[in-house]
């Protein structure tokens, strides 16, 4: 079948527009269209390409996506090579390092010790204070140009407060939490998971589509300047302070140590403490603090002699796989988990490890009764590192993948382009139970006291078949369940009752409609105002909303077309569940007059009259945006008691600082948006 000429022409037009807009936005820093317009056209192209795969060309903007490294990235020759570090693995190595440097300097010296962030080394070049180029380390001499991608990372300043010509270096990383969330989504979407936050960061950064980078929640810690003399500072300690002042994110766990024994104490402290950090570190970097002394000590061809990286021992454990369990998720994706002999790993006892998907089992040739090494990806998720093949018995056989759903026994399907097996039966009890868990979760209807075990019991005893049945539960029914006494039954009923008053976006998110996350649910609800309007909306009308692309629009239309959905919504109406949007609509926001309108606000320190969440909600209702870190883009910092580094940074950057009282006055004096 040949594709209609009109469609071919439209695809070509979209290529032209999107390439032009992307280049204006990312390369020239001069966008000519709103982001939403770009997103809408991008989404249209994606949809046309999915409908007519024959129109997908290699150079399409949509194809320059994905976790893989792109060899097409422009190369950059570093003006000053990006060196690596020599390694130390124990205290003796450190003592030798200390002796070596002291011998050259001739007397004792101080060390700056810093966390060795496990990410990707980056170089940022500023000319006249403006960010001109960002690159990867590459082989140290030649790296890749990732300027457009780095510009999407929120904590990297595009403009410095001073017209400096300098190159700063640091680590780009993904937090443990963002890594876990990203992998969960990828797993449920049938995509390959990233092995660790470092890979996830690298995959998100070293590719041609900056839109993907922008969505990946990357952060940076800047730790050095290529030519320290540019900053006019004498020590690493002062240089880091100066980098803070210039608006960079530096890591504040650093410590100035008077001798190598203090360095060792720091290492011992972080050997345990590192599991509590929100990002992964793979060691500690020890640097001679004084720049003059650094020069005196010098470099080898590969690394400075004045610094060394202490590497934590790999946290691995050996155990044996006894069985593989398959679990059905809310979307029908069936995921395997290895059940193993319990073993201590990075501070906890581990007996289960996700195997993610069938491809992974095949690639690693994981079999029952295999002796394996396990580690924790992102310091959190236990995973099988490798099989100790030499310990296999002669009778060992390749693992047989299941062909039937472990819950409803319907045939599993492997969808092309996915790595996952899926149960396609929408009435599969496992999918329904997962759907119930999702419905009561915090971001959805937020019904306290209904854990997975209780919901499972309710389902098994036929008390609930769908999410609306929750609103039909009686005290007598709850009292029939294990471990439910009168008090907890009443608490549950009260929580269910309270949830009826939720604004409708929580219900829409809770329904678990494919591709409709909490953010999309809110945007749609704010736009249409109530569920009847949303249900009546056509795909085209949905698609007209900023940030709602055709994939979400299509999914919503399909979901609300279903007769079961319509019956479910009718039940909610009969049960008096609120189906209208109670937040601020864009029309109301337009009419708000407030000092917070269109302003970026950071809350820091202890607040007394409001909780952080309350203050955030109030400011957002008044048209402000509340973010977590202070940067050039921050307009107001509200400093409560004991405000620390964020306040200091705001003062250094000359940002307007208010105390809690000033914030409250501003809120109270703003026009009401109830």
- Residues found near ligand IVH in the complex (CB under 6 A): 83-85, 114, 116-117, 121, 137, 171, 223-224, 285, 304, 309
CA–CA dist 97, 365 (Å, integer): 43
CA–CA dist 37, 22 (Å, integer): 12
Q: Which residues of 64-99 are buried (b: 16+ CB within 10 A; e: fewer)?
A: beebeeeeebeebebeebbbebeebeeeeebeebbe
Q: How far is the CB of 143 from ligand IVH (least distance, A)?
A: 11
DSSP 8-state code for residue 583: S
Q: How far is the CB of 222 from ligand IVH (least distance, A)?
A: 9
Asked whether the beta carbons of 112 and 294 are under 8 A apart, the reply is: no
Asked whether the beta carbons of 175 and 217 are under 8 A apart, the reply is: yes
**Which SS3 state, helix, strand or coil, does residue 113 take?**
strand
State both tokens at 192: 């390959």
Q: How far is the CB of 303 from ligand IVH (least distance, A)?
A: 6
Query: 102, 116, 238, 506: which is the annotated catalytic residue?
Result: 116
CA–CA dist 624, 601 (Å, integer): 7
Q: How far is the CB of 120 from ligand IVH (least distance, A)?
A: 7
Q: How far is the CB of 668 from ligand IVH (least distance, A)?
A: 45
Asked whether the beta carbons of 391 and 380 are under 8 A apart, the reply is: no
- If the CB atoms of residues 285 and 324 are measured against ligand IVH, the closer one turns out to be 285
The HSE-up count of residue 295 (CA atoms within 13 Å, CB side) is 7
The HSE-up count of residue 553 (CA atoms within 13 Å, CB side) is 18
Place of tokens 């000590």: 297
Cα 277 to chain centroid distance, Å, stands at: 15
CA–CA dist 319, 373 (Å, integer): 7
- If the CB atoms of residues 85 and 420 are measured against ligand IVH, the closer one turns out to be 85
Residue nearest to ligand IVH (CB): 121
State both tokens at 417: 């382009």
Cα 3 to chain centroid distance, Å, stands at: 38
List, in order, residues 6 or more apart from 290 with CB less than 8 Å away. Answer: 109, 110, 234, 235
- If the CB atoms of residues 275 and 633 are measured against ligand IVH, the closer one turns out to be 275
Q: How far is the CB of 93 from ligand IVH (least distance, A)?
A: 15
Catalytic residue flag (residue 116)? yes
Q: Which of 460, 451, 435, 436 is nearest to 483 (CA)?
A: 451
Asked whether the beta carbons of 94 and 198 are under 8 A apart, the reply is: no
- If the CB atoms of residues 171 and 191 are measured against ligand IVH, the closer one turns out to be 171
DSSP 8-state code for residue 25: I
State both tokens at 331: 């979307």
CA–CA dist 635, 629 (Å, integer): 12
- If the CB atoms of residues 301 and 394 are measured against ligand IVH, the closer one turns out to be 301
Q: How far is the CB of 294 from ligand IVH (least distance, A)?
A: 10
Q: How far is the CB of 297 from ligand IVH (least distance, A)?
A: 12
- If the CB atoms of residues 169 and 330 are measured against ligand IVH, the closer one turns out to be 169
State both tokens at 135: 């690159």
**Which SS3 state, helix, strand or coil, does residue 164 take?**
coil
Where helices occur in 246-373 by DSSP H, the ranges are: 260-273, 291-297, 358-364
For residue 43, give Cα distances in angstroms to 65, 551, 552: 14, 7, 10
State both tokens at 387: 């099989």
Asked whether the beta carbons of 306 and 288 are under 8 A apart, the reply is: yes
- If the CB atoms of residues 83 and 508 are measured against ligand IVH, the closer one turns out to be 83
Q: How far is the CB of 144 from ligand IVH (least distance, A)?
A: 14
Q: How far is the CB of 133 from ligand IVH (least distance, A)?
A: 18
Residue 6, Cβ density class (10 Å: 0-12 exposed, 13-18 middle, ≥19 buried): exposed
Q: Which of 360, 320, 353 is nearest to 338 (CA)?
A: 353
- If the CB atoms of residues 309 and 548 are measured against ligand IVH, the closer one turns out to be 309
Catalytic residues: 116
């Amino acid at each position: 079948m040949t594709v209609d000429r009109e469609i071919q022409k439209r695809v070509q037009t979209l290529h032209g527009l999107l390439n032009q807009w992307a280049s204006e936005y990312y390369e020239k820093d001069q966008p000519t269209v709103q982001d939403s317009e770009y997103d809408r056209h991008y989404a249209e192209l994606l949809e046309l390409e999915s409908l007519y795969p024959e129109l997908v060309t290699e150079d399409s903007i949509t194809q320059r996506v994905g976790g893989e490294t792109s060899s097409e990235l422009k190369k950059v020759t570093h003006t000053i090579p990006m060196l690596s570090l020599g390694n130390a693995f124990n205290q003796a190595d450190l003592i030798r390092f200390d002796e070596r440097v002291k011998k050259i300097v001739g007397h004792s010296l101080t060390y700056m010790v810093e966390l060795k962030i496990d990410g990707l080394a980056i170089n940022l070049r500023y000319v006249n204070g403006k960010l001109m180029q960002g690159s990867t380390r590459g082989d140290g001499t030649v790296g890749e140009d990732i300027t457009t991608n780095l510009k999407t990372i929120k904590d990297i300043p595009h403009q410095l407060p001073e017209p400096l010509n300098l190159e700063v270096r640091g680590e780009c990383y993904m937090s443990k939490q963002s890594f876990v969330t990203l992998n969960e989504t990828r797993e449920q979407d049938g995509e390959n998971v990233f092995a660790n936050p470092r890979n996830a960061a690298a995959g998100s950064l070293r590719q041609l589509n900056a839109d993907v980078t922008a969505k990946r929640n990357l952060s940076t810690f800047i730790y050095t300047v290529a030519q320290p003399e540019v900053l006019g500072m004498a020590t690493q300690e002062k240089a880091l302070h100066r980098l803070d002042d210039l608006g960079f994110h530096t890591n504040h766990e650093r410590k100035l140590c008077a001798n190598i024994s203090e360095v060792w104490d720091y290492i011992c402290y972080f050997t345990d403490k590192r599991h509590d950090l929100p990002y992964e570190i793979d060691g500690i970097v020890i640097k001679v603090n004084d720049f003059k002394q650094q020069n005196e000590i010098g470099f080898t061809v590969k690394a400075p002699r004045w610094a060394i990286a202490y590497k934590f021992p790999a946290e691995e454990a050996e155990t044996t796989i006894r069985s593989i369990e398959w679990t059905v998720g809310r979307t029908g994706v069936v995921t395997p988990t290895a059940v193993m002999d319990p073993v201590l790993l990075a501070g906890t006892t581990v007996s289960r490890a996700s195997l993610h998907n069938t491809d992974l089992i095949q690639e690693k040739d994981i079999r029952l009764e295999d002796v394996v090494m396990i580690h924790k990806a992102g310091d959190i998720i236990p995973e099988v590192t490798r099989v100790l093949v030499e310990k296999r018995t002669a009778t060992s056989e390749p693992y047989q993948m299941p062909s039937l759903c472990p819950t409803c026994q319907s045939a599993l399907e492997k969808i092309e382009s996915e790595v996952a097996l899926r149960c396609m039966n929408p009435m599969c009890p496992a999918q329904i139970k997962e759907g119930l868990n999702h419905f009561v979760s915090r971001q959805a209807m937020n019904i306290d006291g209904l854990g997975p075990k209780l919901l499972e019991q309710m389902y098994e005893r036929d008390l609930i078949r769908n999410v609306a049945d929750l609103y039909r539960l009686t005290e007598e029914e709850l009292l029939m369940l294990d471990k439910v006494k009168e008090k907890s039954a009443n608490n549950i009923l009260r929580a269910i009752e309270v949830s009826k008053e939720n604004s409708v976006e929580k219900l829409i998110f809770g329904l678990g409609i494919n591709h409709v996350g909490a953010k999309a649910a809110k945007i749609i609800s704010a736009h249409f105002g109530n569920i009847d309007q949303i249900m009546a909306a056509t795909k085209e009308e949905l698609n007209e909303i900023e940030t709602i692309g055709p994939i979400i629009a299509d999914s919503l239309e399909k979901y609300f077309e279903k007769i079961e959905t319509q019956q479910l919504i009718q039940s909610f109406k009969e049960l008096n569940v609120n189906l209208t949007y109670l937040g601020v609509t864009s029309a109301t926001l337009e009419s708000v007059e407030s000092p917070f309108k269109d302003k970026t606000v950071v809350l820091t320190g202890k607040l007394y009259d409001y909780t952080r969440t309350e203050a955030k909600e109030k400011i957002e209702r008044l048209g402000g945006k509340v973010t977590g870190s202070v940067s050039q883009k921050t307009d107001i910092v509200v400093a409560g008691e004991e405000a620390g580094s964020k306040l200091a940074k705001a003062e250094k950057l000359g940002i307007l600082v208010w105390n809690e009282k000033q914030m409250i006055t501003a809120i109270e004096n703003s026009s009401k948006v109830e």
